[in-house]
């Protein structure tokens, strides 16, 4: 069976996809039963793979190790998540936690599966955003690390080690998403492959030294193009809120439905981060040059700052205000990491010139 994106009904076609979904549910049941003792581990891994982690964790750490790699991480994270949003709107992928109930295939034999607080995401399921953004962002990180290791050791074996860790991370994130019923296996695989391709392509062109107008144009272009696609699909009679309706219907706990998992949250996050990156290039081109100790201090302070910024409660009504505040919040992220905190550290740690 498959879902008609216009009328939102199931049809007795596409038997192969039905078989893929059914097999995916049984795989999820197997994982939950066989790795139940690793539940905390899988929940931690799925948080590490969250696209927000690329902005709030991977970006600041990478930036203070290598500025160019850090900028590349933010750039790739924003664009890969935007592409993921577009793909999801066009592919109409189901999610296991609602498909089990909607398919009506498990009336007599119900799978023994459980939901978790991270399960009930409201966007379409294909491809997996966690897998896609993780694959894209961490490719930039491991490629940069591998290049550094080879320049120091001239050993292909040592320089290949980061790629092994990269594969293990993708596998772990993928399993975690299947374990919590957020994705089917084929959606994880599709996200990982697409993310890898985007990481390779986008990581080659890092927008260092670009003017503010460039980032303003990119941010506005991504926002307007996504909104245009959204309106265009709705004009064709396609209900893009279908996944939100199903998530609310089949999520076992209403409080697990969060607005920050909605498609427009990722859109405003991406556009805000790119505009914030442009403002950093405008305020302080090239960022601050700090010795290792002040840089480590900047990383620690920035991480604490981003932690508190991320935990700021945002009003969910009206939704337009919520999305606007998400935009502002993630526009602040690169400015905190690149300009504000390093600037303060430089101010308080610089050596005064002797008269």
Active site amino acids: 130, 183
* Token pair of 250 as six digits: 């089949």
Q: Peptide bond preceding 127: is omega within 30 degrees of 0, i.e. cis?
A: yes
Phi, psi values for residue 11, rounded to 5°: -125, 150
Q: Residue 2 — φ and ψ, nearest 5°? A: -140, 160
Measured CA to CA, the distance from residue 22 to residue 11 in angstroms comes to: 16
The CA-based angle 314-317-323, given to 5 degrees, is 60
Compute the distance between CA of residue 220 and CA of residue 268 in angstroms, rounded to an integer: 10
Does 95 belong to an annotated binding site?
yes
d(C-alpha 70, C-alpha 59), whole Å: 5
Buried b (16+ CB within 10 A) or exposed e, 280-303: bbeeeeebbebeeebbebbbebbb
**Secondary structure class of 2 (helix, strand, coil):** strand
Per-residue exposure over 139-157, b if at least 16 CB sit within 10 Å of its own CB, e if not: bbbbbbbbeebeeeeeeee
User: Contact 127/88 with Cβ under 8 angstroms?
Assistant: yes
Closest CA to 127 of 90, 152, 101: 90
DSSP string, 71-101: HHHHHHHHHHHHHHHHHHHHH----HHHHHH
Cβ(46)–Cβ(182) under 8 Å?
yes
Identify the DSSP state of 3. Answer: E
What are the binding residues for substrate? Answer: 95, 177
What are the binding residues? Answer: 95, 177
């Amino acid at each position: 069976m498959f879902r008609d994106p216009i009328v939102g009904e199931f049809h007795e076609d596409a038997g192969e996809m039905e078989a893929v979904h059914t097999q995916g549910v049984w795989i999820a049941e197997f994982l939950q039963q066989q790795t139940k003792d690793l539940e905390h581990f899988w929940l931690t891994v799925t948080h590490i793979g969250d696209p927000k982690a690329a902005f709030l964790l991977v970006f600041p750490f990478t930036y203070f190790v290598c500025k160019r790699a850090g900028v590349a991480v933010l750039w790739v994270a924003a664009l890969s998540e935007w592409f993921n949003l577009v793909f999801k709107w066009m592919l109409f992928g189901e999610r296991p936690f609602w498909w089990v109930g909607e398919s009506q295939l498990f009336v007599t034999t119900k799978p023994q599966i459980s939901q978790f607080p991270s399960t009930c995401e409201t966007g379409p399921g294909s491809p997996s955003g966690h897998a896609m953004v993780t694959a894209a962002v961490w490719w930039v990180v491991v490629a940069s690390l591998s290049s550094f290791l080879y320049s120091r050791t001239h050993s292909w074996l040592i320089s290949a080690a980061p790629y092994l860790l990269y594969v293990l991370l993708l596998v772990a994130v993928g399993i975690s998403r299947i374990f919590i019923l957020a994705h089917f296996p084929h959606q994880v695989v599709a996200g990982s492959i697409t993310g890898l391709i985007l990481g390779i392509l986008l990581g080659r062109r890092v927008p260092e030294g670009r003017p503010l107008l460039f980032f303003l144009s990119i941010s506005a272009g991504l926002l307007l193009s996504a909104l245009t696609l959204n309106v265009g699909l709705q004009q064709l009679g396609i209900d893009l809120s279908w996944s939100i309706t199903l998530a609310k219907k089949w999520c076992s706990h209403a409080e697990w439905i969060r607005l920050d998992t909605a498609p427009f949250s990722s859109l405003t996050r991406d556009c805000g981060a790119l505009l914030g990156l442009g403002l950093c290039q405008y305020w302080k081109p090239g960022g601050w040059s700090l010795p290792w100790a002040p840089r480590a201090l900047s990383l620690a302070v920035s991480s604490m700052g981003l932690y508190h910024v991320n935990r700021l409660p945002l009003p969910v009504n009206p939704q337009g205000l919520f999305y606007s505040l998400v935009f502002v919040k993630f526009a602040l992220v690169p400015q905190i990491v690149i300009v504000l905190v390093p600037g303060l550290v430089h101010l308080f740690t610089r050596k005064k010139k002797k008269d």
